């Protein structure tokens, strides 16, 4: 028996098991999925003439963004209790929104802007969909004290559209989903997938806050180009701060920056654009 045991070990170490071979294969597949996800994200880059930045936009065209926004509009209207019945208030909103678009470079971007006053009397909110669909709830609209404050809110939302933040978020979500899928394949562990998804959500959350600050900056720019007082955007932040109350969610865990933090950035934007305006006038 000993002779045959020696013969069975003759020839060196045993070959890798089928299991270890399968693990290597799954790791390679996971790495390939991750590499493709990164390649797809970074290869779909476009120059935004309005902001002067290169962006990752998931390959979406302006027409596709418009179509996405129009497709989602009925659902958004329903979610916030329908459109507000006050036609005079809607005309007022249209007047302010159209002034911000027609009086600036926004009119040359190809986006189709529409402004919707939503009936929701409780939710203090305003938002924009890709392509130019802009919404404000009655709860926020009724709290605004001046036309300039309304221009600040709507200018901010127009800024989201012009900066193509919707397309950027779609691209980032696609990257996150690809990397999460790669983690699942490589590990075969659902708990790992959950952890990867949580990290991805935190990444996207931070990215969203940066978008909010850029939209504030562009809102200030649109206000100043159309003769609105950008200082009134600070008043909007004060309203939002009062609505939030003392038990606000910490800034890092919120999709929006803290209103106090936004005020600081808004004042910096006002100073920046005033300097640019005075410089262009002297030249």
pLDDT of 72-85, one tens digit each? 999 999 999 999 99
Calpha distance 5→175 (Å, rounded): 53
SS3 (DSSP) at 128? strand
| Mean pLDDT, the chain, whole residue set | 78
Q: How confident is the model at residue 241 (pLDDT cuts 50, 70, 90)?
A: confident
pLDDT of residue 68: 86
Query: In the structure, what pLDDT confidence band is assigned to residue 282 with cuts at 50, 70 and 90?
Result: low
Query: Mean per-residue pLDDT for 41-68?
Result: 78
- Has residue 88 got a pLDDT over 50? yes
| More confident: 43 or 201 | 43
Give the domain ranges of the chain.
41-244+251-274
Nearest alpha carbon to residue 113 among 98, 93, 126: 98
- What sign does the dihedral 69-74-76-77 (CA atoms) show? positive
By C-alpha distance, which of 128, 140, 280, 84 is closest to 219? 128
* HSE-CB of 149 using CA atoms within 13 angstroms: 15
Residues facing residue 53 across a β-bridge: 48
Given a cut of 90, whether residue 270 has pLDDT beyond it is yes
Which pLDDT score, from 0 to 100, does residue 179 have? Answer: 45
Using 50, 70 and 90 to split pLDDT, how confident is the model at 242? confident
Across 212-228, average pLDDT: 96
Question: pLDDT tens-digit profile of 5-23?
Answer: 444 444 455 555 666 666 6
Q: Across residues 258-282, what is the average pLDDT?
A: 85
Which band of pLDDT confidence, cut at 50, 70 and 90, is reported for residue 196?
A: very low
Question: Residue 61 pLDDT more than 50?
Answer: yes
Rounded distance between C-alpha atoms, residue 54 and residue 52, angstroms: 7
The closest alpha carbon to 236, from 149, 165, 155, 173, belongs to 149
135-180, pLDDT tens digit by residue?
A: 999 999 999 999 999 999 999 999 999 999 888 887 667 645 654 5
CA distance 97 to 162: 14
- The pLDDT assigned to 189 comes to 53
More confident residue, 215 or 187: 215
The mean pLDDT value for 212-237 works out to 96
Q: What is the pTM of this model?
A: 0.73
């Amino acid at each position: 028996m000993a002779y045959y045991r020696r013969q069975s070990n003759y020839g060196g170490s045993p070959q890798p098991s089928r299991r270890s071979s399968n693990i290597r294969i799954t790791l390679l597949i996971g790495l390939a999925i991750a590499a493709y996800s990164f390649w797809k994200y970074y290869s779909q880059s476009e120059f935004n003439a309005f902001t002067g930045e290169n962006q990752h936009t998931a390959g979406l065209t302006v027409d596709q963004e418009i179509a996405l926004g129009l497709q989602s509009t009925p659902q958004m209207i329903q979610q916030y209790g329908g459109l507000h019945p006050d036609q005079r208030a809607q005309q007022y909103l249209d007047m302010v929104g159209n002034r911000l678009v027609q009086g600036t470079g926004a009119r040359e971007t190809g986006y189709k802007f529409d402004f919707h006053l939503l009936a929701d009397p409780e939710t203090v909110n305003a938002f924009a969909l890709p392509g130019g669909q802009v919404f404000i709830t009655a709860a926020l609209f009724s709290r605004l004290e001046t036309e300039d404050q309304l221009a600040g809110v709507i200018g901010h939302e127009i800024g989201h559209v012009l900066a193509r933040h919707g397309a950027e978020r779609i691209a980032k979500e696609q990257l996150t989903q690809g990397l999460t899928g790669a983690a699942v394949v490589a590990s075969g562990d659902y708990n790992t997938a959950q952890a990867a998804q949580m990290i991805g959500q935190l990444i996207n959350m931070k990215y969203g806050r940066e978008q909010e600050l850029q939209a504030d900056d562009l809102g200030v720019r649109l206000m100043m180009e159309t003769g609105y007082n950008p200082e009134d955007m600070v008043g909007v932040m004060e309203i939002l701060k009062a609505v939030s109350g003392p038990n606000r969610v910490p800034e890092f865990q919120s999709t929006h920056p803290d209103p106090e933090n936004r005020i600081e950035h808004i004042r910096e934007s006002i100073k920046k654009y005033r300097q640019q305006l005075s410089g262009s006038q002297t030249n």
